[in-house]
A and B are shown apart, each in its own frame.
Chain A
Amino acid sequence: MSKKNINVALIGNPNVGKTSVFNQLTGLNQQVGNYPGITVEKKVGFCKLPNNINANVVDLPGTYSLNASSADENVVIELLLNKNDKLYPDVIVVVSEVENLKRNLLLFTQIKDLEIPTILVINMIDRMKYKGISLDIPYLESQLKTKIVLVSSRKGTGIEELKNTITTYKTISTEPCLNASSIDEEYFDTLRKTFPNQSLYKLWLVITQDVNFVDLNRKTLKNNSFTKTDSELKRLQQKETIKRYQFINDTLKLGQKVDSALATDFRSKLDRLLTHKIWGYVIFFVILFGIFQSIFEWSKIPMDFIDRNFASLSSMADKNLPPGAFTNLISQGIIPGIGGILIFIPQITFLFLFISVLEESGYMSRVVFLMDKIMRKFGLSGKSVVPLISGTACAIPAIMATRNIENWKERLITILVTPFTTCSARLPVYAIIIGLVIPDEFVFGFLNLQGLTLMLLYLIGFGMAIFSAFVLHKVLQLNCKTFFVVEMPNYKLPMFKNVAINVIEKTKAFVFGAGKIILSIAVILWFLASNGPSKNFSDAEAILKSRTENSSLSALEFKNKVASFKLENSYIGMMGKTIEPAISPLGYDWKIGIAIISSFAAREVFVGTLATIYSVGGSDNEATIKSKMATEVNPQTGVKIFNFASGISLLLFYAFAMQCASTLAVTKKETNSWKWPLGQLIFMSGFAYIVALLAYQILK
């Protein structure tokens, strides 16, 4: 039998375990990318089916219906309506969930109208028994004109059956399960006559949504005599929804039995506790506190391990490779550069782990509910909590996550203030500076001072985000209709596989995304630091020899002097010296200045830059970067460069400054204007400079 490739689209409401089903089908054979032109995440996986069929499985963004109200949902419609798309599905799998079948079926009936073979998966079948639900599958299959597969993605049951059912896609009915056009027969008849070659439901979707296709354009439809006003269309959409629910209610009345006496009240008990007016906030705070303490405590051992190994790797390369420019590039440019990225994997992994557990368990929605009223006082929405928390991982997905905030003003403010939250790229900078200037001691016997400082920095980030939101709320004059709907999903024990795949994907994206930038900057810096324009650089040894003739320096001391003299007269040293007057009031020397400049592309470059600069400067490759930084002194005053005052000033600078080209790009994309990202850049960085200046001048 010959091989065959088919496209399978997975679609479903949020919180039905669609991603679990996707993970079960494809395992780690996934590719995450973006849809062309927009930042919506696109996941495609590969799956081997029986009978030599290979399937490309597309995981579409979760949606409640085909009535698109966001960019995410537009993606769904555009793929499902465009027969020329390379991923246009041969078969659609609608994933639903046994407890919310009624609501899930609304989307299913809409999908059926597209006349593509459709399979209905009912997930979380393992919960059916204790929820007292029983289903009449043959009846449901005949009413819904589909094949139903019962799945428990948690237990892994039903997946093989789903694979088998997918291979029989040609035999599955493409007939709609109800006649939605009966809501206005006359209107739809005219439509059908005007465009006899188009599917009726597709026409209806194009009329009511903001999507366009090559063969079907909104404008041509709008220019017809039978056009309706927006208000009339909205009423028609409501009628359509009511009609669909009538059909679903009738179907489930006979096809589903619920013995409500069996339903446990675990959920309501937990809800009462987690949304309690005192305990709710206490629990939320304790969870956040625990996360930040553990990020710092747990990752210490693996981080030290990586740090030490890269230092010895560097010296090994130095000793064993033939001396020359190429060896220097490897031992002083590339190895420290890679080490600078890898060292943060433990912390970033822990952060993504916690965030993905909070989201998977359903707790995040309770936080939204708990915080909405408070957040609104600051011009934000309860839903802003999710971007603000996931902003602790990275501002880019966080800004994209604001899409489900319905009110434009609340959404805009959330986008503008999210970069203040402490993202994982700041973590490397914080970690190394805290390690240098804050003592590793315990207060009250259990609070680690370094962990406490880290927690404070996170709180400052949140505080600043909230404060600037409040200012923006008062300043921005925008009138928007407010509405707010948030689903409160059932509590779930997070699934190991989902969390693991999520953490691996995100960490991989960080390492390769940031890694590319860090590595190339490391190589450029190494070049700039190992070459200089003037005689001072090329004849450094001779110049110093004549200067120090009378003093009694050991060979090693002399070697170090030459190295640092060379560095000062290299290209990078000259650049650093030029900007030194602007940053010395903040307590920084020119080396830190270079690190700040190079980290305008991405914050985490700061550490890599210092690593490269110090490796080139020193002759001792055995020492770790941190110990080199710790012993660095100001040649004029003899004071340590990384002291308490300059350390705090640096921490505050990094807490507030806008140093991420990718965040600016995503803000531009999401707000559709350069005005907002430019405002972010000027306001945040200007504010950072002033605060860092004040901090150093007061503390020194």
Chain B
Amino acid sequence: MKTTIASLKKGQIAIIKDFDADVIPLKLLEMGCLPGNTVELLQIAPFGDPLYLNINGSHLAIRIETAREIEVDIIKK
């Protein structure tokens, strides 16, 4: 199974590897969600969704179904 943002634990930091460009909205890319950038999972909302992330210094929240499309390499913890 591939590792995605959805499989991160709270506080873990990872590097964005790859994603299917057609599924990910351009707006997310514009906010810094690009291959090579770091992502940290800051908070998980009650009931497990959405996820509160720090991507490349930007603080934003996305739903888990989007998070599942973004492949990452875990680098810390």
A residues near B (Cβ < 8 Å) are 64-65, 67, 69, 99-100, 102-103, 106, 231, 234-235, 237-238, 241-242, 245, 268, 271-272, 275-277, 280-281, 365, 368-370, 372-374, 382, 406, 482-490
Cβ contact within 8 Å between A277 and B46 = yes
Instruction: Name the residue in B21, B25, B31 with the highest tally of chain A Cβ atoms < 10 Å from its Cβ.
Output: B31
A/B interface sample: 18 pairs, CB < 8 A: A100-B57, A106-B30, A234-B26, A235-B21, A238-B26, A241-B30, A368-B61, A370-B46, A372-B45, A372-B50, A373-B48, A373-B50, A406-B27, A483-B62, A485-B61, A485-B62, A485-B66, A487-B60
**B-chain residues with CB within 8 Å of residue A235 when the two chains form the complex:** 21
**B-chain residues with CB within 8 Å of residue A281 when the two chains form the complex:** 46
Cβ contact within 8 Å between B61 and A486 = yes
Q: Mark B15-48, 1 if CB is under 8 A from A, else 0.
A: 0000001100111111110110000001101111
Asked whether A483 and B26 contact (CB < 8 A) given A102-B57, A271-B42, the answer is no
Cβ contact within 8 Å between A373 and B60 = no
Given contacts A64-B27, A102-B57, 20 further A-B contacts (CB under 8 A): A65-B30, A103-B56, A106-B30, A238-B29, A242-B29, A245-B34, A277-B46, A369-B43, A372-B49, A382-B50, A406-B27, A482-B63, A482-B65, A483-B66, A484-B66, A485-B31, A485-B60, A487-B58, A487-B60, A488-B60
Determine which of A231, A277, A489 lies in contact with B59 in the assembled complex, contact meaning CB atoms within 8 Å.
Answer: A489
Cβ contact within 8 Å between B30 and A484 = no
Determine which of A103, A382, A488 lies in contact with B57 in the assembled complex, contact meaning CB atoms within 8 Å.
Answer: A103
Within the complex, what minimum Cβ distance (angstroms) separates B50 from chain A? 5
* Nearest-CB residue, chain A, relative to B63: A484
Cβ contact within 8 Å between B21 and A372 = no
Cβ contact within 8 Å between B22 and A372 = no
Q: How far is the CA of A587 from the CA of B50 in the complex (A)?
A: 48
Within the complex, what minimum Cβ distance (angstroms) separates B7 from chain A? 18
Cβ contact within 8 Å between A488 and B61 = yes
Cβ contact within 8 Å between A487 and B31 = yes
Cβ contact within 8 Å between A231 and B22 = yes
**B-chain residues with CB within 8 Å of residue A237 when the two chains form the complex:** 26
**A-chain residues with CB within 8 Å of residue B56 when the two chains form the complex:** 102-103
Q: How far is the CA of A272 from the CA of B47 in the complex (A)?
A: 15
Cβ contact within 8 Å between B63 and A372 = yes
Cβ contact within 8 Å between B21 and A102 = no
* Nearest-CB residue, chain A, relative to B50: A372
Q: How far is the CA of A485 from the CA of B33 in the complex (A)?
A: 11
**A-chain residues with CB within 8 Å of residue B61 when the two chains form the complex:** 365, 368-369, 372, 484-486, 488
Q: How far is the CA of A235 from the CA of B30 in the complex (A)?
A: 13
Cβ contact within 8 Å between B45 and A245 = no
**A-chain residues with CB within 8 Å of residue B50 when the two chains form the complex:** 369, 372-373, 382, 484, 486
Cβ contact within 8 Å between B30 and A373 = no
Within the complex, what minimum Cβ distance (angstroms) separates B37 from chain A? 8
Asked whether A268 and B42 contact (CB < 8 A) given A482-B63, A484-B50, the answer is yes
Q: How far is the CA of A242 from the CA of B21 in the complex (A)?
A: 12
Within the complex, what minimum Cβ distance (angstroms) separates B68 from chain A? 12
Q: How far is the CA of A281 from the CA of B65 in the complex (A)?
A: 24
Task: List the 4 closest pairs (A to B, CB-CB), nearest first.
Answer: A277-B46, A488-B59, A373-B47, A484-B63
Q: How far is the CA of A153 from the CA of B33 in the complex (A)?
A: 29
Within the complex, what minimum Cβ distance (angstroms) separates A100 from chain B? 6
**B-chain residues with CB within 8 Å of residue A280 when the two chains form the complex:** 46
Cβ contact within 8 Å between B65 and A486 = no
**A-chain residues with CB within 8 Å of residue B34 when the two chains form the complex:** 241-242, 245
Asked whether A100 and B58 contact (CB < 8 A) given A64-B27, A485-B31, the answer is yes
